[in-house]
Chains A and B, each alone.
Chain A
Amino acid sequence: MSSGSLSDDDFAGSSDFDEEYDSDDGSDMEYEQAGDVGFSDMITEKQRKKAYEVDFSVMPLADILSAQSSASNHVAGILGVTLDQAATLLRAFKWNKERLVERYMDNPQEILDQAGVVLEEDVSPVVKRPKGFVCMICFDDSSSGPALALRCHHVFCQPCYEHYLTQKIVEEGESRKILCPESGCNVVVNEQTIKKAVPQAVLDKYRKLQDRAYVADLDILRWCPAPNCENAIECRLPYSSFTSIVPTVMCSCGYKFCFGCGLGDHQPAPCGLVKMWQKKCADDSETANWISAHTKECGKCQSTIEKNGGCNHMTCRKCKYEFCWVCMGPWSEHGTSWYNCNRFEESSSTDARDQQAKSRASLERYLHYYNRFANHEHSAKLDRDLYTKTEKKMEEMQRTSDLSWIEVQFLKKAVDVLTSCRMTLRWTYAFAFYLAKNNITELFEDNQRDLEVAVEALSELLEKPIEREKIAELRQQVLDKTVYVGSRREVVLEDTAKGLAEGRWEFFTEFAKV
């Protein structure tokens, strides 16, 4: 396994790594080796969009509201309906204006019935109780008191309407299509009626639900998952492209996440791969794998047996079958050789052992990638602790040297870069786990190793105690390494993104898009 070369030996060999990036020529050469352009091109490249970036825009809540009202305005103008009715129609068509207008022109009555809209002059939903009125919900038959009815003329008393709407909005979280309480009636309760029937708090909740439904209904929008953030992100890439693009977006609140699946940034691994990897890590399949790698089954009753010592003459506790642990054949053919087995090459026993060797190898492979994946996750958590330590360090540096506040900011920057690199590295291991073994994969692993070596070197540098006379030197070193680590990360992301777009990577398994 070539990826197995990412062992401790590589970290120990920091001397050749120093050569690689300390001299300018060395780092330039690195770019060329990685199939990248020369240094001068790198500068122009900075202005352009990178291969692993996608176009997106941040939409604050106010923009979401105005987008809805402008769409309603537009449709209301074309179809000659009220704003309220236009919004209801649009909601039924998931805010697809073109489709709504087209279908409406074909058959207006059918569309109105489907969406539950009755075209009539806007009349107040508050009505007088008709003669002989009985509210069909609470069976109140008093002739006075407030009552409400929609354009379908199903009258219910005001308290029942209020309870009904509150139940729908607060308990069931419904906002797209709240129907008239009458059984089988398909008329939608309009916003005007809701305004009249429920208290302000419920109305606010209703409007919030509508915004939520708007974002959920449109494929090009997604809420920022960060706590207390009310922004949505707009990204116009089709969902089908997310097998070959990792759409990482960053909200104005600073949270970076994947537009495709809503998880935290998982570049360079595509959503489908991430989902598969997380499932693999969460379920028990690896426990089963461990059992099959470390135990054998009784040749007769299939009980699982773990041998923890003793000679090769096994007697199954359950069925009393006697067999040889080495060749798995019956013991009766063995005679008296308890500690070695000369029947090892019998074909029946080789098959059983091959099977075990296979699952052992596959477990080892999984653990190799999982350990590194988990390690970077863990290290990223430690980095957060490191960040607080770093802040203390920065204060200390301001006191002990003549550096100003702005000049000690390099430590914060270094920690930020370090954390994002660890997140990237972490997902490169999930990515690599699913890659088939070939030359292109080896190139990927080379890039991955370069990034990992650089990250560990920077991490080590940050944890060093600060010595007064060496501050300037440390600052220089940290700055250099920060820049280098950042560029190594870019190389990895750029290369994987291009590879995904070109379909260069060969995975040994198929994965769905999201």
Chain B
Amino acid sequence: MNPPAGVDIIDANDFKVWKLGLAGAPATLYEGEKFQLEFNFGPNYPLESPQVLFVGDNVPIHPHIYSNGHICLDVLYNHWSPVQTVASICLSLQSMLSSCTSKERPPDNATYVKTARSNPKHTAWAFHDDTV
């Protein structure tokens, strides 16, 4: 399958780790920005969700994205379904960025980043905001 608009493959030669580029959609707060995503596929993929985080120097400033690259998005954790694909995750992320109305970090960013494990799947996420 071809990558969706705004997504380009940086490195997908390894079956376990993929690096993708994500461009901020036009006419949104992130227009013109470039981000990097890292996908880590476990042995149980696609039954288990991959580990997805933003990497590189530019982590989008968004109320659901922590400065260490962790993403608070339900489909990546307990609402994962094996039918999801890399393309569908990228689309979810694009739409999450596009619907953002103010560029800010999550309110608990400082404490979370200090205490979080490197794998975001070890965090017990609470999904309380469906609007962004």
Contacts and interface: CB of A to CB of B under 8 A. Distances in A.
Interface of A: 136-137, 160, 163-164, 167, 171, 179, 181-185
Nearest to A183: B81
A411 to B, nearest CB: 52
A164 B88 contact: no
A185 B47 CA distance: 16
Interface of B: 44, 46-48, 75, 81-84, 88
Nearest to B85: A136
B82 A160 contact: yes
Contact of A183 (B44, B47, B48, B84): B84
A167 B82 CA distance: 11
12 contacts: A137-B46, A137-B47, A137-B82, A160-B82, A163-B44, A167-B44, A167-B47, A181-B81, A182-B83, A183-B83, A183-B84, A183-B88
B48 A181 contact: no
Nearest to A163: B47
A185 B84 CA distance: 12
A182 B80 CA distance: 10
A111 B62 CA distance: 36
A136 B44 contact: no
A189 B53 CA distance: 31
A315 B79 CA distance: 64
Contacts of A163: 44, 47
Contacts of B88: 183
B44 A184 contact: no
Nearest to B75: A183
Nearest to A185: B81
Given A137-B47, A183-B75, 15 more contacts: A136-B83, A137-B83, A160-B82, A163-B44, A164-B47, A164-B82, A167-B44, A171-B44, A171-B48, A181-B81, A181-B82, A182-B81, A182-B83, A183-B84, A185-B81
A163 B82 CA distance: 10
Nearest to B78: A172
A135 to B, nearest CB: 10
B78 to A, nearest CB: 9
Contacts of A183: 75, 81, 83-84, 88
A137 B83 CA distance: 5
Closest 9 pairs (CB-CB, A-B): A183-B81, A167-B47, A137-B82, A136-B83, A183-B83, A181-B82, A164-B47, A163-B47, A182-B83
A183 B89 CA distance: 12
A171 B45 CA distance: 13
A163 B44 CA distance: 9
B52 to A, nearest CB: 16
Nearest to A172: B48
A299 B9 CA distance: 63
B111 to A, nearest CB: 19
A171 B47 CA distance: 11
Contacts of A164: 47, 82
Contacts of B46: 137
A183 B87 CA distance: 14
A136 B48 CA distance: 15
A136 B81 CA distance: 11
Nearest to B88: A183
A179 B44 CA distance: 18
A185 B82 CA distance: 12
A160 B45 CA distance: 11
Contacts of A179: 81
Contacts of A181: 81-83
Contacts of B83: 136-137, 181-183
Nearest to B81: A183
B121 to A, nearest CB: 12
Contacts of A184: 81
A103 to B, nearest CB: 24
A13 to B, nearest CB: 55
A181 B46 CA distance: 11
B35 to A, nearest CB: 24
A508 B22 CA distance: 59
Contacts of B81: 179, 181-185
Contacts of B75: 183
Nearest to B46: A137
A163 B46 CA distance: 10
Contacts of A136: 83
Among B48, B82, B84: residue with most chain A CB under 10 A: B82
Contacts of A171: 44, 48
Contacts of B48: 167, 171
A446 to B, nearest CB: 48
Nearest to B47: A167
Nearest to A179: B81
A137 B44 CA distance: 12
A181 B81 CA distance: 6
Nearest to B44: A167
